[in-house]
Structure 1
């Protein structure tokens, strides 16, 4: 009888997404739903009346959505496909409990395996952002920071950016940013979801001793044409999803900067930020005429072919490119018409093929093969010294992966597989005056097998993931065993306790040889580990030992969630061995030293997130950490602060959503990064800078306020538009994000030391317009 009444009461109500209804029901009845994302995808229903019993509501939802709602106990409900549908479609699903659905804002969720999932298509709004930039968005998470505001230099729990494994549809990427680091290189409008792991990652992941950022494109054919175009004050882009037949689909996206066509206030600020410390921006000689041009673009393609209900093939292609031309003309030259053009290009091309087969409704296999090629190429002319310098850094990554998934039940899942990779990295230096050429290429082949078991209690209160990854590196005859652990336990209805742990390694890293490498813009170059091999010749002064970098991490957390209030605290400790001085970017007395050492970081991440109805979400986050280096050959073997040792990080933000309008305002503050001052005992006559104790002082604290707003409206029955505006650093606060010291080139020894300060972005406005069809 209740169900009949429910139908009568709700028949006049407007349907809405099942996800939004579930969120309301969780608050109304103090219950928790567990489900896989694909299970509730595109499902809609009306909101049941408040007078109905929980049992009646579940029965109604079952009829409305053709899904199975299983009441595990008084609080926990599992949502699954009906057995008949599962049998017909061989749907292999993972039951995931979402601890928080709107984590900070809509489209961000926290899962009980410790990971954070971001879905750009459901993204709400964050302060300073009008578009769901993937690598900007993750910086809103506790424990994630870019001290220099670059998406190509993200520090996650104290690690360097090269210690983050960045995957695009399963393919490892070696370039993450456009505009040499200020904009994410990945189009968010074709991204289905992004999984972020700070610890406790699955055994199927290798590398990434700091984090995993797994970007996934849509993998389902829905036989619907859709797309969109848009522009802002930096770039224009477009994307389209084209059904070619019932079994095939083409996804295409492209983006290009407009900076070489029109100069905008946003471009002015970006240009100052990126090129303020480059070679051509440091040239103050009036006898040189300068002219530069810069642009970037990316293009991505994914072809989907469902051979049968059991077999699927996917083809992936991505090209990311940044190009800078810098023209210099010596006006005092006898031949003033001849200009010298310095160039810098940075590119990452990825090509891959994936084949998936569902053998039964419980067993599936996936095979993927890909090639990822990174190329950083610079030609630098010195017009006064008639010198030309060519520098090149190239990476070839050929990888083959085989993965097996066996889902015995929602309570027991087994995953295993094999991973082979061959990575070759080359570095070229070529000078014409005096003549010098150096070309170094190294190749590493590695094998890995892994296995993992996931256990989930029937009441969804307990989850345990246990796995191990066994790695073998041919060149070094090195065997590495890496266990992985994830444990989650719900107690007292609203609390959850978790423990995460992992051991990892990586053979690739980025180093800086000289601060003016690659025109002083993209100074870092990829290198391979040589595992402390001996040089080819004893007199080889250029040989530098580069160990395999190894890490171990353990974290524990407790989370409280009730009535749209989340209180979360996570404590962690991470130790990383095998880092080199050149991988840390020192600009003090250790800039030209070669040493091998480690860093250890201990910290805590705290978050308080409160949602008021469906309109307002606010949060406060605070992170404290202590991050120390230990290089046995430096600083008399004593510990000293890490370059990324930022002790205190605080942020406060709020978002407001009402119908078609979204507003966001936020404040970001953190203590200044460590720096090294010249010693008070420095002798100005010796033409050498004498430094104080390394990283013994700090820059001034960083403060930035951001705001943003978007509004969407319907253009027609099938077309809608979104307009947006944002301001980064509303207060136009002058933040010094880096300081270093150089010697004057003159013989005036009374003022021999220059102080160089790098500033953050000033007040930076942006506007956007998007059309969705």
Structure 2
């Protein structure tokens, strides 16, 4: 039995061996011989390199298969690509590997658009969702992924997942010390950076109460410690400072004008302006001016591979934006905006115009004088060219132009004859800059910035009864050059050095035709700055430290100023962060008010250059410390600060009491606390902000050397919420603050010697300010690359009459007349925008 079993087993093994041997013999058929046979059978021709197929052995395809099935069989056997060039010609090539994926930031988990992905000379750019596709020939091909602000990835194809489109995370560069430490500080798109500043990213921005669009300078006012004493973007007060103490830059270009509609809306197009960075303290040594704060606007810094843009209209203006590629290494961006008041007068326009015309020459209508043909217009345009000749070089060319115009005819009956003369007011800014950045090595980079900015305010005031024409001009022209060089000493330490030159010319003209009078004043000041800064970031990113020094030399005055800067941030425990910020700064320009009806009473501010005597160089010192807790959607942040500013003048502080025409210099100090409490849910945000401030003037040459500042808002509270459901966004917010200080005449003795007899300076306050705002947006798609966005908003829903300013003028020999200026009442707005990409 066992013998028979062994014989049977022998035959089975022999048969299997025969079968396997037969299959092996069949599989050794060379691919070239199979191709020759297929050419004859199907009447086709195979084109290939001999070296590619000569050594390949494949299992011959079944003769019953069609040509298409046969090619599929050979593809599987040979791992080669068979490409049908024509009906009778088939090209054989080495099969390419296809790599795809989604690129995301490792910290925020957000998609990274427009990231460069290269394989040798071939390359691509990720789309807005961070997706890319790229081909490779060999598994050893090296794929390079490069993005500004993140570590470059260089990895062979075989180390990627080639079976599916996987997520690939990029890590922020260690030397990017300004990386985000608190996401969604207020709402989505508002973050806190490691250098202590706050950043608004309009690419991620959701919605704020009362804003129909992402108004750049209105948005910063949602942050604690930022107020506008009169609701305008041209009078933003940072921790008790006047507006002229703010440094406002657009892509590094210093701007001397900030608003349209004489300050009611921002003149910077948010569709081109990608980010806004706000420094209340601790600014970098590369920045000068702005003793109270810095508002730095930055545009997109990447080449867009596809054309995109938008056009829109609201109840104030029509606007458009386009971003178009110029090949793979350059792109161009153009935006424009114009008031629609020339075509239609909307309720929003009427509210805005009434607001700016209160108690001005424009509004004046009396029994003997009337104004007619009142016209108003504003427009702006901006242009950018981006050119990246290589991965190491980046060139930017920026240009911006903006203008406000108002005109009216003054009519009066003179000697029985009706006479008419026109008054006009024009405000204009034009600026341009060139910026060149280069990464010389992995550890050495440089940046060169050159800019020219020009601002002009011109008014022609016609006085019909006196038969007089009064021409006024205020002009600022500035040229700036800045060079920065950064050296990465270690993976955690970066040393930045630089030089800055600014030449500023300010011109003021007063020209009266009868009696003939002309006064032209022009001043020029050249300032040099040398700066150095060390930046440190710990390995666990828990500790960030910037320490720098800036040396300034003012040619005209032979004056030297040393300015240390500090920002320190440390995370500890579970969700806690402590920060310390400090800075010394100075500025050479300020704004002054010459008299009440200056520039028709609409725009009362003229820029003026320091003379180091009656108009000192303004200097400041500031220190602040803060503590944050961020966990499980809760954020609590409190910052205490102290600021002292020397060299201010009474002319720059908007006095409208006994000190309105006094010219003297002094200082002010400000101390307070900014607090924010925010809860973030899946689809909603809730926040409560509180700011307390005590700010006092010190003018030793005034009868009252010490009294409250004109910008002393003791308490300010904001409560807000926004909610997102798919493509629908809605927001509501309540703003309350104590009233602005002002000076009241002495009761029962209001006028002495034809002048108002004022009581103690700023001893009275307006009633509390209260405003409720709401806004909503909805976005829907029209097609794969087109969507429409509609929005509605209401400012001051309760239509509360808030007093923002009060001043007095003699009315009779014993009584003073009160002039009360009110904020915007209930103001609706609506918009529609077509977005294509």
Give the structure-1-normalised TM-score: 0.87
Q: 1:628 to 1:16 in 2, by over 3 A?
A: farther
Q: Which residue of 2 aligns with 1:394?
A: 475
Whether the 8 Å contact between 2:710 and 2:740 is mirrored in structure 1 is yes
Looking at structure 2, the residues matched to 83 and 197 of structure 1 have their Cα atoms a distance apart, in angstroms, of: 36
Q: Which residue of 1 aligns with 2:530?
A: 449
One of 797, 801, 805 as aligned partner of 1:730 = 797
Whether the 8 Å contact between 2:591 and 2:605 is mirrored in structure 1 is yes
One of 764, 770, 792 as aligned partner of 1:703 = 770
Segments of 5+ residues of structure 1 without an aligned counterpart are: 1-14, 26-32, 47-64, 69-77, 533-544
Q: Which residue of 1 aligns with 2:631?
A: 562
Question: Is residue 2:152 matched to residue 1:81?
Answer: yes
Q: Which residue of 1 aligns with 2:57?
A: none
The alpha carbon displacement at 1:258 in A equals 0.4
Q: Which residue of 1 aligns with 2:30?
A: none
Q: Which residue of 2 aligns with 1:244?
A: 326
Q: Which residue of 2 aligns with 1:9?
A: none
Q: How large is the RMSD of aligned CA atoms in angstroms?
A: 2.5
- Paired residue secondary structure (1:576): strand
Q: Which residue of 1 aligns with 2:29?
A: none
Question: Is residue 2:657 matched to residue 1:588?
Answer: yes
The alpha carbon displacement at 1:490 in A equals 1.0
The alpha carbon displacement at 1:368 in A equals 1.3
Q: Which residue of 1 aligns with 2:206?
A: 124
Question: Is residue 2:720 matched to residue 1:653?
Answer: yes
Looking at structure 1, the residues matched to 197 and 752 of structure 2 have their Cα atoms a distance apart, in angstroms, of: 56
Superposed counterparts of 1:489-638, under 5 Å: 489-532=570-613, 545-613=614-682, 615-637=683-705
Whether the 8 Å contact between 2:174 and 2:537 is mirrored in structure 1 is no
Looking at structure 2, the residues matched to 294 and 188 of structure 1 have their Cα atoms a distance apart, in angstroms, of: 23
Looking at structure 1, the residues matched to 342 and 609 of structure 2 have their Cα atoms a distance apart, in angstroms, of: 36
Looking at structure 2, the residues matched to 101 and 231 of structure 1 have their Cα atoms a distance apart, in angstroms, of: 31
Question: Is residue 2:473 matched to residue 1:473?
Answer: no
Looking at structure 1, the residues matched to 829 and 218 of structure 2 have their Cα atoms a distance apart, in angstroms, of: 15
- Paired residue secondary structure (1:273): helix
String of CA shifts for 1:676-716, please: whole Å, max 9, x gaps: 00012526463221111000111100000000000000011
String of CA shifts for 1:726-746, please: whole Å, max 9, x gaps: 0000000000010010012xx
Question: Is residue 2:502 matched to residue 1:421?
Answer: yes
Q: Which residue of 1 aligns with 2:568?
A: 487
Whether the 8 Å contact between 2:459 and 2:600 is mirrored in structure 1 is yes
- Paired residue secondary structure (2:667): strand
- Paired residue secondary structure (2:203): helix
Q: 1:376 to 1:711 in 2, by over 3 A?
A: same
The alpha carbon displacement at 1:367 in A equals 1.0
Q: 1:437 to 1:84 in 2, by over 3 A?
A: farther
- Paired residue secondary structure (2:220): helix
The higher radius of gyration belongs to: 2
Whether the 8 Å contact between 1:92 and 1:361 is mirrored in structure 2 is no
- Paired residue secondary structure (1:307): strand
The alpha carbon displacement at 1:92 in A equals 9.8
String of CA shifts for 1:548-606, please: whole Å, max 9, x gaps: 00000000000000011100000000000000000001001111111110000010001
Looking at structure 2, the residues matched to 384 and 769 of structure 1 have their Cα atoms a distance apart, in angstroms, of: 47
Q: 1:588 to 1:45 in 2, by over 3 A?
A: closer
The alpha carbon displacement at 1:102 in A equals 1.2
Superposed counterparts of 1:458-469, under 5 Å: 458-469=539-550
Mean CA deviation greater in 418-427 or 399-408: 399-408
Superposed counterparts of 1:86-485, under 5 Å: 94=176, 96-331=178-413, 336=418, 339-485=420-566
Q: Which residue of 2 aligns with 1:49?
A: none
Question: Is residue 2:827 matched to residue 1:760?
Answer: no
- Paired residue secondary structure (1:769): strand
The alpha carbon displacement at 1:222 in A equals 2.6
Q: Which residue of 2 aligns with 1:640?
A: 707
Q: 1:380 to 1:79 in 2, by over 3 A?
A: closer
Q: 1:393 to 1:446 in 2, by over 3 A?
A: same
The alpha carbon displacement at 1:103 in A equals 1.8
- Paired residue secondary structure (2:583): strand
Looking at structure 2, the residues matched to 480 and 36 of structure 1 have their Cα atoms a distance apart, in angstroms, of: 43
Looking at structure 2, the residues matched to 405 and 41 of structure 1 have their Cα atoms a distance apart, in angstroms, of: 28
Looking at structure 2, the residues matched to 95 and 573 of structure 1 have their Cα atoms a distance apart, in angstroms, of: 25
Segments of 5+ residues of structure 2 without an aligned counterpart are: 1-100, 117-124, 132-142, 157-171
Looking at structure 1, the residues matched to 437 and 373 of structure 2 have their Cα atoms a distance apart, in angstroms, of: 51
Whether the 8 Å contact between 1:92 and 1:358 is mirrored in structure 2 is no
Whether the 8 Å contact between 1:18 and 1:43 is mirrored in structure 2 is no
The alpha carbon displacement at 1:148 in A equals 0.5
The alpha carbon displacement at 1:289 in A equals 4.6
Q: Which residue of 2 aligns with 1:29?
A: none
The alpha carbon displacement at 1:330 in A equals 2.4
- Paired residue secondary structure (1:749): coil
RCO comparison, higher one (Cα < 8 Å, 6+): 1
- Paired residue secondary structure (2:755): coil
Whether the 8 Å contact between 1:36 and 1:95 is mirrored in structure 2 is no
String of CA shifts for 1:646-704, please: whole Å, max 9, x gaps: 10000000000010000001000000010100012526463221111000111100000
Whether the 8 Å contact between 1:97 and 1:460 is mirrored in structure 2 is no
The alpha carbon displacement at 1:366 in A equals 1.2
The alpha carbon displacement at 1:313 in A equals 2.2
Q: 1:765 to 1:307 in 2, by over 3 A?
A: same
The alpha carbon displacement at 1:66 in A equals 8.7
Give the structure-2-normalised TM-score: 0.81
Looking at structure 1, the residues matched to 192 and 645 of structure 2 have their Cα atoms a distance apart, in angstroms, of: 26
The alpha carbon displacement at 1:100 in A equals 1.9
String of CA shifts for 1:178-206, please: whole Å, max 9, x gaps: 00000101000011211111000000000
String of CA shifts for 1:192-239, please: whole Å, max 9, x gaps: 211111000000000111111111111211321111000100000001
Q: Which residue of 1 aligns with 2:742?
A: 675
Whether the 8 Å contact between 2:363 and 2:371 is mirrored in structure 1 is no
Whether the 8 Å contact between 1:92 and 1:407 is mirrored in structure 2 is no
Looking at structure 2, the residues matched to 37 and 465 of structure 1 have their Cα atoms a distance apart, in angstroms, of: 30
The alpha carbon displacement at 1:522 in A equals 0.5
The alpha carbon displacement at 1:107 in A equals 1.0
The alpha carbon displacement at 1:83 in A equals 5.0
Q: 1:433 to 1:45 in 2, by over 3 A?
A: closer
Looking at structure 2, the residues matched to 209 and 82 of structure 1 have their Cα atoms a distance apart, in angstroms, of: 41
The alpha carbon displacement at 1:127 in A equals 0.4
The alpha carbon displacement at 1:96 in A equals 4.4
